[in-house]
Structure formats: structure tokens, C-alpha cells
Structure 1
Amino acid sequence: MLRRRRGRLSDKPGTFDPEDRSRVKYTKVGVWDLYEEIPRELEHVPGASRVEQILEIKQNLPYLWRMMKDIASIRSCWFLLCGYAFVHLLLSLLPAINLWYSGQMLTIVQIAVDTRTVDKQLLLRIAAGRIVTMTLQRFLRLCSSRAQIPLERRLKQHFTQHIFRARARLDLPTFDDPAVQRQLAGATPPGGRTVAALTLRMIMDLMSACVYVVSQLGVLVSVLSEQPDGPLLSVLMLGAAFLQHMHTMGQLTIARVWAATTKNEDYLRMQGYKRIVNDSEHRKELLAGNLAGYLISQFVAAAKRLGDDEGDFRELNSTRLMSGKFHLISFLKGPLSELPQILFTLRAAQRPASIPVSLASLQLIQSTANSFTWELYKIYEQTTGIAEQLADVRKLYDIAEIPNRIPDGTEPFPEDAQKIRAGIELEFRNVSFRYPGADNYALHNVSFRLVAGQLCVIVGSNGSGKSTILKLIVRLYDPEEGQILLDGRDIRTLKLHDLRQATSVLFQDYTHFPLSIRDNIALGDPEHASDNSRIERAAALGGASEFIARLPDGLDTYLERPVQDHYGDIPAGTHTLFGRKVDYGALRAAGGMSSTANMGLSGGQMQRLAVARTFMRSVVADEPKVGLLLFDEPSASLDPTAEHDLFVRLRELRGNKTMLFSSHRFGNLTRHADMILYMSDAVIVESGTHEQLLARDGEYARIWKLQAQAFL
């Protein structure tokens, strides 16, 4: 069956501007506005688009060869691939064998008409041959499915690892680039199948179609060449069938580049009303506000105003394409399909004795014409499919070559591993930075210096640039101007792995991985991920041990299960399965039920887990690996008691490590800081110790007094 093309963004260069009336055709489709690109002059040349596709295929063939070599290198895949191809080849030949047996049946009918006798032995051989052919066909289809399943599983396993490696190596600016995200999406088709499996299946289908057509054509010519009017009947029926396929597919063809939108307020409101009624997140407001009656009346009124114009775009556009247009093919295919019947009737009138043979020939051609012409049309149409599929193969390999925006350094760090015990010196020299796509500076001409072992606290309002300083230190981004130095060395010259190994950072927008609590903490120091005593100590230092002990599975509790449970028709009174809450909303959304894994932890508890992961990396390890500790709002979700306990532990456990905090709350840390940086609007406004800044009576002192009044 012809492959249904996936919805995809075009890779062609240039832009598509719906307002360019010289290049874009506008059509009103119900409530929708359809904009279709007018083909360029070259595309009016017959076959020009096919030439472009063939050239594209030729350009991407080296990637197909590379993929086939990769498949051959997978354990046991070569044997499965050869078996799979051999079975497909036999399956594509069997229809021709069946056609040959049908031709032999014509011979028997001809002999019966001429001699009034039947060759019983030949009839038995033909019957036996057809039975064997049909049995073999079923057996080969079973073999094909048996080979296809393990083959595709091994392909998926191999190329999933390839994609995982390609994604994992990307730095933050590169990964966030929309063009890169689009490239990654192109290498990962929806539906769980891999580009390799889809490509292999398409190649096999095309090869089978070619073998089918050649073998069928050879047998058909041989069988009908001696039959009265056989060649003429064949031409007429094949032509009618081919016109039918051309007409059907032509009706569904739309412009290669197009876009559709709607600005109709009634339609937009109707879709919004549906979301309010369907989504469980709005149910409380709907009921508490007595909104049901209002929404029903508004929905019905909007539907009446829209009438037949209301509807999904693809449904309305499909109706538009299928009706009301003149198609020359639609007028030709009807008369042409009747010509074989007329020819048969004339033959029967002229030679009544030949009716059985002519009737058998007619039935044979009719049974062959549709399948034969469909395979021909599939070969023609799959030129586009193969071009698209090979482009996806190219993307599959191109993602492994995407260059990172943050270049790796070449120098190891630190030069002396023992010096890291005394902390790391940090200096910013006239650093300026803007996030990609932003006009305003996140940091502007920022300079400061921390001596090894010092405690620095950066304070200021949200958006002042505090978090950006921490991100630049670990080179999630590089500054536009200025230098950042560790122990006097520009961080851009240091190996990224070494730099990040010597640094521990907890971001304000910390993440929890879709793994168990044990794994979440252990990832702070992957080298000791199996050391339970280290994990338990890190949990205790982070203040998480108490609530972890109350969880049903303790450290093995999943905060977010990466795989959902699935189940079908269960009683409505069932609220939990496998210890997890049943999500009945998923039944409406996806036609099946799944479980959620929300353990109901508070923001403070989640933050303690993040702190525990940081302690696993920076404090628990026997051999010091980290000399610089970075904390971005580590107490934002903690209550005052938990915040005080956290900062006490941090001061006691940090040893001689250099420590840098960002916070918008003053108090627990600022009094003990060796240096305080007060930031506002991307610049450092004031710097000094707590006492120095209070004595200066500037912005820091003003904010300090405002916060202190809350506790008086």
C-alpha cells in the first residue's frame, strides 16, 4: 500500500509569506483562510519536479549506503535482513505464478470448446499448483512478519542509541536553537518506529513492486498473446484502471507549500468552550461559577451563526477538493471502462462459440488490471516518498555532526588536584552577556574577584543577573565581552569536563529527573551511584531523610515514573492501582487509562532533594573533586527554620571551598559572607561585607532594613 506521507516542515530554502499575492493564492474554506504557494515556472515543465526528486535521491544515496553498513554491523541483523529480502522477493513473484496458472486454465477452456474434452491431469496439476502457491504465500507472509519484528527491534535499539548520543552531546545554546530542534525532530519520526526501519520497509516495498510489475507483465503478455482480442482488452482495462488511480490521487493533491489559519471569533470561542468543558483542570471553576448554562447557550449560538462553515480544516478542504471541479480524467475513465464490455459483446455476437474463452479472458484481465496498475502508480508516486525518506536518513546522521556553540578547551584543570582542597580563585573582568535573541543585557560590564576559599553572596531582585553569573561560570553560555578566570586561567581554554567536574552548581530552576529518589541524588556523583551510604548521607545533609522515610518506597520512590501503567475497562470506584492514583482523564484524552505518579511533595521537599544531589557531588566524596560551590536561590522554597538549618550545614561542611550564592533574601548568609555583591539591572551596584554595606547606607542597606522590619 502506498505510504501516507507524514506532516512535515519543508527543507526547501527561502520563506513563505501569506501576504505576497504575487506568489500566494488565497482561498476561503469555511471559517479557514487557505494560502497556497503558486508553483514557480520550472514546476510547470512536465517532469521537472521528478527530476528534482531524483537529483535529491542521488545526493542522499551515500547516507543510505552508510545506514546499510550500520545495519550489517548489528549482531545477527545481516542474516535477518537477507532472509527478509528473500521472502519479499518470493512474495512479489507468487502473483505472477498465480497468473500463469490462470492462463493454463484458459488453455483448458479453449481445449474444451474446440474438442469437447477436458484434460483432467492438466486440470489436477493446475489445481494442485494453485493450492501450493496459496499455501506458500501464507507461509511466506508469516515468515516475513517473524523476520520483521526482531529486525526492527534491533534496528530501533541501535539507532535509538545513536540518537541518544547525538542529543546528549549538545550544549545549551545549540540545543535551544529552534533549527536544531527541528533537525532533531526530523531524525525521530512519530509512532515509535525508527528512520532506519521505515527506510528499509520502503526500499523493500519498492523492490517488491518492481519485481511484481515485471513478472506480471511478462506472464500477462505470454498468456494473452494467443487469445482473441487479448492484447486489446488488456490495453483498454489497464488504461481504465490507471486513469481511475490518477483521478483519485489527483483529487487529494494540494500545493506543496501552503498554510491555513482562522480568525473567526465564533469558531475560536467554540474551540475554547470545548476545552473548558473537556479538560478536567477547568472543571472546578466551571461548577463553582455556574458556567455550564452560559457556555451551552454561547456554544449553540455560535454554531448557528457559523452554520456549514464550521468544521476542521482538513475535513472542509477535503470536501472542497472532492467536489465541484471539472476533471477530464473523470469523463474519460467511464467510457474507457465500458469499452472492454462492448468489445466482448461484439466478439460474442460474431463468434458465439468463443464466449467461454472470451469471458474467461475478460475475468482474468479484470482481476489483474487493478492490482497491476496500482503497483505501477505506486512505483511512480514513491519517487517522492523515497526522496523524503532518504532526506530523513541524512538527518539521522547529520545530527551526530551538529557543532556545539560552546567550543571545548584544551587545557586540563586543575593542574594540581590537591590544590582544589583550598578552593578556587574566581574573577570576572568586564563581562557582558545577552541571552540568544534578547536585546537587553543580562550582565553588563561586570567585574569582581573572589580569593580561593571565600564565601560570596550575590543579592538583588529577580532578573538582575544573579543566576546568569552562575551559568557563565560553568559555561552553559559564553560571554559576549570580557573574561572569566579560574585560578588566573581563562575558562574558555579549560577542558569543559574538567571545569564542570571541579564545580558544583544548584540552579534556581533545578530539575528532578524522571528516576527514583535514589537515582536523583546519586546523579550528583555518578561514579559512586551504587554507594548507598553516600546517598543516605547526602539525603541527610540536604534535610530530606525525614520525609523520604515516610514515603512508601523510601529512596526507591519514583517522583515521576518515566513509564506509565496502562489498563482498560476497570470499575469507576477503583482509585489506585499498583499503589498509584488512577487518572481517568486519560481515558477521554487518549482512549485508554494511565496512572500518575505525583507523590504530593511540597516545593520545599523537592528543593531539599536538589540540595541533597549537590551535597552528593560536593561534600560527601572522600577525595575532593570540587573546589567551587555555586548555589542559585537554594532556599527559595524552604521555610525559615529549614533555611537556617541548611545554611548552618553549608557553612560547617564547605571546608575551604570557594562558595558563591545568589539570593533575593538577606540574613542567614550575608552576615557571614566575605563579600556581598548587590546587583540591579545587569550591573553590580555595590560590593563589600555586610557591615561595610550597612555603613554605606545605600541600596543594600535599604533592602536589608525593609526585610528586617518584617520580623520586628
Structure 2
Amino acid sequence: MRAGRSSRKGPAFDPADDEHVEHRRLGVWDLYLQRNPKLSRLPAWPKLEESAEMINDLPYVWRTLLDLRPICGHLLALYLVMMIGHSLLPALSLWYSGQLLKIVQIAVDERTVDRQFLFKIAGGRVACALARRCLSHFMSKLFAALNGRIRLHFSTHIFHIMARLDVPTFEDPVVSQQLSSSVSTSSRSNVAWEAISSLFNIGSAGLRLLAQSLVLVAVLREQRDGFFLAFICSANYVISQFNQDGELRMGGRAWAATTRNQDYLRIEGLKKLISSGQHRKELVAGGLVNFLEAEYRTLVDRLGNGARDFWDQYEDHMTKERISLLSLLELPLEELPQIAFALRAVQYPSSIPVSLASLHLLQQTTTSFTMRVSNLMRQAGSLSNRLSNLRKLYEAANIKNKVPDGTAPFPENAQTVQHGISLEFRNVSFRYPGSEEYALRDVSFKAESGQLCVIVGTNGSGKSTVLKLIARIYDTTSGTILIDGRDITTLKLDDLRRAMAILFQDYTLFPLSIYDNIALGDPAAATPEKVMEAARLGGAVEFVSRLPDGFDTYVERPVRDLYSGLPEDTKTLFGRSVNHSRLRGHMAGGREGSGDLGLSGGQLQRLAVARTFMRSSVSEPTVGLLLFDEPSASLDPKAEQDLFARLRELRGNKTMVFSTHRFGNLTRHADLIMYMNDALVLETGTHEELLKRDGDYARLWRMQAEAFL
């Protein structure tokens, strides 16, 4: 759905609240619109209401200007001076026009012309036009320079805001809303410059209106019936503003739209199905084309013209002709200035040439003046929104993470990490934010320093959650986690995570080169030799070396290629596959993702494993705890066996916690095995102990063993 303006403070918008929200039906869509107060029928009321909200945001403008003073303060001052000059020129031009009318009036009445004065006035008008053109040119150049400098300056601020957030905070919908409206990552503009330029623009518009109004009053005084003609010239525009349909105009009001029509939902689903490449194989292999075509045609016939998106329905409704009393007055008011001029010409025949010129000037000036007043109101509303986003930009830097930092350094003695880190869970329970179900329930276990702990269980049993809590991606809902006998929440987060090497099941590969993906395991110690060694340990060297760009290959290229109108025989461009599908939009960009590289899931997982090896092997003196979450899920049996062998070699004296749903060679060497199911630890012990117990672990072990017999 099209982006709306940023949210404002106030009571929650509830579509079921009939007192404050009205419901309208637009085709297959239900529109819920905030009811306006009685004064909202005035055309300028919503803008005045929005402008009142920016009082609390103005201090952030001053803060922004102070921040920008050493960066581009002189350019901002020059831009402001140019805007002031540009704002005064229309008033000066209007004064010259009034003087020209005065010259014509004298010529008609006295049959004489002051040629020297006429040339000065004419020259002044030409000079005004040239000055406005030159100022506009230089202001556009200065605008671009300021936008570039301010955007680059605030890009580091925005990067810091985004990078510092922990997982629960980043996933919070309230935080997401604040970031989406204030943290702009556009390469063409930024929140800070938009707010400042909007403030300059509204100040310039206000100054222009003030200057023009003063000159206009002076000009009208010198014209016969000037104020009356100005009033009837502007009356038509004012009436047209009052005549605007306010019932469904959504500007300045909270609104929401949804569709519950199952036919329309199915139509849109079918369109996405056939336009998405990820479903193409199943669509073709399943022979679904004819069925889907017939289904789509049936649904379209059933809905008819109602099968349109919301904005088509809304704009169609707004363009329907409506007749009201005010609309009937608009046409006579359009003709009223001409009628007044005719009556004036009959009364004063000798002044017809001057009256014609003055009428044209008055019509042009008053219409322009009233339009500028309306534009000023619109700019005030836009300014309110942009200042609000500027305030949120600064406030975003103060968002508190939901996982608080500890104060105690870790470890107290760096040498002890080489011998592993002890780990203990005491009655730990945990629910993910927004979930009513427990991911862990009353989990307790202890792994001594240097031990290998293997957590086994089915998917969804809670294995991955254990590792996320150890890394303090989340904090426990209840219970305590101890690291070397100390409460994990008291330890400094940077110190704690520096002592760990982690590979999650839902690992991600960064939109960077393969080299950087591995090197970021320990960027401070990364060298080509160490990255190559980590890639070898992760089993990635062989397939990476076959790629055209080797370690410089991007797993997912962060910048798209742009192209359009290429011949269909063009299969590759810049070494990447070309996508000719028009369904992906004009000037589609080829993205180099894992599919373009032809990498399998196992190969991608090896890159993630190599990044973990980079940290644990290179930074051996500082890492004492290794956390591996299903690292072999996408590997074939031989690759899995090789990985386990390297992991045993890598571990040395380090403590390792390894989660898996497979029962393999690693469990035979485990000092502690925990069998989990449905968020509970059901069995603990060594491999031999659990087999002797003949419980669920032993039963699942035999099931998997029999599969290979």
C-alpha cells in the first residue's frame, strides 16, 4: 500500500470505533477514515492543525544547524541569503508593473510620457527577471551541494543508529515504525536536509507573501475599484477550495484500508504466483497453467470492474462529478471580473486601455497570491511532518536496547579462556517477544570448562534457543544463566561475545564479497592467509576457487545493474545473467544471488562455517566457547564427517555446545548430551549412559542407525 505520512501521537486508530472512525465502501475495499472535527470543513484547518504540532520539534532544527555549522555553515548562510533575495524579487516585479500602469494612465490622461522613467521601469522589470533566473540557477547548484554534504554527514549517524540495535529492539514494531519514518537511506535526499530546506521554503514563501501583499495594497490604492476587483478575482478560487469534497480527502487524517473479498484476494494471489520465479518450477512441473488461467478468468468475470487496487478505486471516486451550491456559484464568479470590467468601461470609456491592463494584472496577481496562500498552508503541513521525522532521527540514537549491557569485565584473567568456559542453566524459561508459547521451560544443565555438550532433538524443540540465550541475543524470561559461575547479565556484552564463536542454524551471508564474509569472523586479525585457512577448514576453498572472481565474488550483489531494451539474445551482461522479464519492472536489475552463482545450500553453509572457523582458529587466545547450531544440516554425509573431524581438531581445550537433530559421530565423543523435546530437557548424560537408559534418545538413535543398515 502506498506510504502514508508518519504516525503522530494520540489515541490508537480503531476501525471498530464508530464514534471517531467512519467506514466507506470503495469497490472491494473497506476504507476506515478518521472523522474530522467540525472546523475541518475549513480548507486550511488540517494544515493549521498540523502546523501546531511542530512547536515541540523546532529545537531539533537548531540542534541540526549547530551540528552542520562546521560542515557547511557558510553554504547554508549563502543559501538563506539567496532565498531571501529570490523571495523579494516578485514583489519588486509587481511594483514595476504598477508603475507601468501608472505611466499608461498618465499617458491616457495627459497625452505625455516620461521616456526616461519608462526606460528605468522597463529596465527594472528585465533586471528582476534576469536576477530571478540567475538566483534560481545558483540556488539549484547550492541545493545539490548542501544535500550531498548533509546526506554524507548524517549517513554515519544513521549507520550508528541501525548498527547498535540488538535483536529484540530491532524486531519491535514500534521501533521499526520510528526508524522507517526517520532513518532515510536514500542516496538522493535525507531527513535532515528535507526538514531544513522545508523550513527555509516556508520562511521564503511567507516573506514573499508579506512583500507582495504590501506592494499589492499600494498598487490597488492607485487603481479605480482596485480592492473590489481584487476581491472578485480571488473569490472564484476561494469558493473552489471550499467546494473540495472533504468527506473522503485523507490528507492530514488517519486512515486504513483493507479488503476482505475472497475473490479479489485469490486474483492477487494468482498474479503473484505466476509472476514470481520461485514458483515457476512447480507451476510448470505440476501442469497447472491451464487450470490457473481458467480460474483467473472466472474470478475476473465474477468481479468485473471491482477487481482493482485501492488507489484506482479511490481516484475513480474522487474524479466523479459532483454538483453542489458552491459548485454552481463557481461559473458565475469566473465571469464576474469581465462583467465588472464592462460596467467600468461603460462608466469611464476613456480608461478602457488602462482598465484592460489593470484587470489582467489584478487577475494574474490575486490568483497567484491566493494560490501562494494555499501553498503556504500545504507547506506548513509538510514542514510539520518533516520536523517530526527530524526529531525522531535524533531520538532514534537514544533508543534503549532491550538487552541491557553488563558492567563486569570478562574474563578476569584472559589466560583462563584458553581452557574453556563453564556454562550453567538454572531453571531457565523463555518466550519469544509476542509469543504465548514457551520456547524453553525450566531448563537446567551444567557444562564444565573444556567439555563437549551436544543438544539433540527434533526441529522446534528449543535447541537453537539455548544458543541464542547463551549469546544474549535474547534474555531469559525467568531463571539464570551462569558463565564461569557468574550471572551472564552482569558481564559486558562486548567482552562476552568476544569470548565466543557462534554459528546459528538460521545463518545469513552478508551482501559482501566471499572474502569479507569469511574475514568478518574476526576482522581485526584478518589477512588473506588466515582467510584462506579458515575457508579450508570450512571446506569452501575448492568451490570458491572455481568461481570467476574467486574470493572477490559477491554472494549477493548489493547494487543492481540497470538495463532496458536489450536484445533477447543478450544472455549475460557484466558477467551476470540478464533477466528479460517485464514483470519485474522497467529497467530491471540483474541481482547476483546464490542462485546466479549456482551455489548449493551446502556450499553456502560452508561459507558460514568458514566464518566461524575464522573467529575460533585465528582468535584462539580470546575464544573459549564454541556454539554450533545445526552446522551440518545442508551437508552430505561425507562433508558432515569431514566437518566433525575438523571441529574436534579445532576444539582443543575449548568448551563446545553443539546442537543437531542427527545422531552422528560427534555424540559418541560428547561429555554431555541433552535430549530436548517440546521446550523441555528430557534426558541428560553421555552417549553410553543414555543408551543404557533405553529412553527416547536410545529409541531415536536406533531409528537413525537402522536407516543406514
With normalisation by structure 2, the TM-score equals 0.94
Aligned: 1:421 with 2:422 = no
Q: Which of 193, 199, 217 is residue 195 of structure 2 equivalent to? A: 199
Equivalent residues of 1:242, 1:377 under 8 A apart: no
Aligned: 1:555 with 2:554 = no
Name which of structure 1's ranges 421-430 and 257-266 shifts more when overlaid on structure 2: 257-266
Q: Which of 535, 539, 545 is residue 539 of structure 1 equivalent to? A: 535
Aligned: 1:639 with 2:636 = yes
Residue 396 (structure 1) aligns with: 393
Superposition pairs of residues 349-368 of structure 1, within 5 angstroms: 349-368=346-365
1:236 maps to a residue whose letter is I
Q: From the superposition, tell whether residues 468 and 279 of structure 1 become closer, same or farther in structure 2 (CA, over 3 Å).
A: closer
Superposition pairs of residues 439-454 of structure 1, within 5 angstroms: 439-454=436-451
Q: Which of 41, 59, 62 is residue 62 of structure 1 equivalent to? A: 59
Name which of structure 1's ranges 372-381 and 250-259 shifts more when overlaid on structure 2: 250-259
Q: From the superposition, tell whether residues 297 and 606 of structure 1 become closer, same or farther in structure 2 (CA, over 3 Å).
A: closer
Aligned: 1:182 with 2:180 = no
Deviation at 1:328, TM superposition (A): 4.2
Residue 497 (structure 2) aligns with: 500
Aligned: 1:570 with 2:579 = no
Aligned mates of 2:11, 2:554 — CA distance in 1:
47
Aligned: 1:616 with 2:614 = yes
Residue 385 (structure 1) aligns with: 382
Aligned: 1:119 with 2:114 = yes
Q: Percent of aligned positions with the same letter in both sequences?
A: 53
Aligned: 1:528 with 2:525 = yes
- SS of 2:218's partner is helix
Deviation at 1:470, TM superposition (A): 0.7
Q: From the superposition, tell whether residues 154 and 473 of structure 1 become closer, same or farther in structure 2 (CA, over 3 Å).
A: same
- SS of 1:566's partner is coil
Aligned mates of 1:39, 1:339 — CA distance in 2:
34
CA displacement 1:256-313 (0-9 Å, x = unmatched):
1322222333433333343345444455555566655555555454444434444332
Deviation at 1:686, TM superposition (A): 1.2
Name which of structure 1's ranges 64-73 and 654-663 shifts more when overlaid on structure 2: 64-73
Deviation at 1:314, TM superposition (A): 2.4
Aligned: 1:579 with 2:575 = yes
Aligned: 1:656 with 2:653 = yes
Residue 168 (structure 2) aligns with: 173
- SS of 1:475's partner is coil
Q: From the superposition, tell whether residues 131 and 48 of structure 1 become closer, same or farther in structure 2 (CA, over 3 Å).
A: closer
What is the aligned length?
Answer: 703
Equivalent residues of 1:411, 1:495 under 8 A apart: yes
2:209 maps to a residue whose letter is V
Aligned mates of 2:96, 2:43 — CA distance in 1:
40
Superposition pairs of residues 35-50 of structure 1, within 5 angstroms: 35-39=32-36
Q: From the superposition, tell whether residues 210 and 520 of structure 1 become closer, same or farther in structure 2 (CA, over 3 Å).
A: same
Equivalent residues of 1:472, 1:479 under 8 A apart: yes
CA displacement 1:334-375 (0-9 Å, x = unmatched):
333322211110111122110001001001112212221111
Name which of structure 1's ranges 363-372 and 352-361 shifts more when overlaid on structure 2: 363-372
Q: Which of 102, 116, 134 is residue 107 of structure 1 equivalent to? A: 102
Deviation at 1:631, TM superposition (A): 0.5
CA displacement 1:199-256 (0-9 Å, x = unmatched):
1221122112111111111222222312222222112212333333444585872371
Q: From the superposition, tell whether residues 653 and 320 of structure 1 become closer, same or farther in structure 2 (CA, over 3 Å).
A: closer
Q: From the superposition, tell whether residues 176 and 79 of structure 1 become closer, same or farther in structure 2 (CA, over 3 Å).
A: same
Equivalent residues of 2:23, 2:30 under 8 A apart: yes
Superposition pairs of residues 294-373 of structure 1, within 5 angstroms: 295-323=292-320, 325-373=322-370
Deviation at 1:9, TM superposition (A): 5.2
Q: From the superposition, tell whether residues 310 and 461 of structure 1 become closer, same or farther in structure 2 (CA, over 3 Å).
A: closer
Deviation at 1:446, TM superposition (A): 1.2
Q: From the superposition, tell whether residues 361 and 249 of structure 1 become closer, same or farther in structure 2 (CA, over 3 Å).
A: farther
Aligned mates of 1:483, 1:42 — CA distance in 2:
58
Aligned mates of 1:366, 1:592 — CA distance in 2:
46
Residue 514 (structure 2) aligns with: 517
Aligned: 1:219 with 2:211 = no
- SS of 1:677's partner is strand
Q: Which of 684, 687, 697 is residue 684 of structure 2 equivalent to? A: 687
With normalisation by structure 1, the TM-score equals 0.93
Gaps of 5+ in 2: none
Deviation at 1:325, TM superposition (A): 4.2
Deviation at 1:124, TM superposition (A): 2.6
CA displacement 1:480-526 (0-9 Å, x = unmatched):
22211111111111000000000111101111000001000010001
2:601 maps to a residue whose letter is G
Equivalent residues of 1:105, 1:126 under 8 A apart: yes
Residue 265 (structure 1) aligns with: 262
Name which of structure 1's ranges 535-544 and 235-244 shifts more when overlaid on structure 2: 235-244
Q: From the superposition, tell whether residues 230 and 150 of structure 1 become closer, same or farther in structure 2 (CA, over 3 Å).
A: same
Aligned mates of 1:81, 1:180 — CA distance in 2:
32
Deviation at 1:685, TM superposition (A): 1.2
Deviation at 1:463, TM superposition (A): 1.0
Aligned mates of 2:507, 2:79 — CA distance in 1:
48
1:539 maps to a residue whose letter is A
Aligned: 1:590 with 2:585 = yes
Aligned mates of 2:282, 2:491 — CA distance in 1:
55
Aligned mates of 2:325, 2:58 — CA distance in 1:
38
Equivalent residues of 2:43, 2:241 under 8 A apart: no
Equivalent residues of 1:406, 1:478 under 8 A apart: yes
Aligned: 1:599 with 2:597 = yes
Residue 410 (structure 1) aligns with: 407
Residue 69 (structure 2) aligns with: 72
Deviation at 1:21, TM superposition (A): 3.3
Residue 229 (structure 1) aligns with: 225
Residue 704 (structure 2) aligns with: 707
1:210 maps to a residue whose letter is G
Q: From the superposition, tell whether residues 327 and 117 of structure 1 become closer, same or farther in structure 2 (CA, over 3 Å).
A: same
Equivalent residues of 2:422, 2:483 under 8 A apart: yes
Q: From the superposition, tell whether residues 441 and 249 of structure 1 become closer, same or farther in structure 2 (CA, over 3 Å).
A: same
Aligned mates of 1:465, 1:359 — CA distance in 2:
86
Equivalent residues of 1:242, 1:374 under 8 A apart: no
Equivalent residues of 1:251, 1:322 under 8 A apart: no
Q: From the superposition, tell whether residues 307 and 228 of structure 1 become closer, same or farther in structure 2 (CA, over 3 Å).
A: same
- SS of 1:436's partner is coil
Equivalent residues of 2:33, 2:254 under 8 A apart: yes
Q: From the superposition, tell whether residues 645 and 527 of structure 1 become closer, same or farther in structure 2 (CA, over 3 Å).
A: same
1:128 maps to a residue whose letter is G
Residue 671 (structure 1) aligns with: 668
Deviation at 1:49, TM superposition (A): 6.1
Equivalent residues of 1:693, 1:700 under 8 A apart: yes
Name which of structure 1's ranges 596-605 and 222-231 shifts more when overlaid on structure 2: 222-231
Equivalent residues of 2:54, 2:384 under 8 A apart: yes
Q: From the superposition, tell whether residues 280 and 481 of structure 1 become closer, same or farther in structure 2 (CA, over 3 Å).
A: closer
Gaps of 5+ in 1: none
Equivalent residues of 2:627, 2:656 under 8 A apart: yes
CA displacement 1:34-73 (0-9 Å, x = unmatched):
2223346797899986675454221222222222222224
Aligned mates of 2:537, 2:293 — CA distance in 1:
56
- SS of 1:593's partner is coil
Equivalent residues of 1:458, 1:661 under 8 A apart: yes
Aligned mates of 1:413, 1:292 — CA distance in 2:
61
Deviation at 1:647, TM superposition (A): 1.0
Aligned: 1:141 with 2:139 = no
Equivalent residues of 1:240, 1:333 under 8 A apart: yes
Name which of structure 1's ranges 127-136 and 461-470 shifts more when overlaid on structure 2: 127-136
- SS of 1:17's partner is coil
Deviation at 1:464, TM superposition (A): 1.0
Aligned mates of 1:576, 1:87 — CA distance in 2:
50
Equivalent residues of 1:85, 1:204 under 8 A apart: yes
Residue 480 (structure 1) aligns with: 477
CA RMSD in angstroms, aligned pairs only: 2.4
- SS of 1:583's partner is coil
Deviation at 1:403, TM superposition (A): 0.9
Deviation at 1:570, TM superposition (A): 1.9
Aligned mates of 2:104, 2:628 — CA distance in 1:
91
1:600 maps to a residue whose letter is G
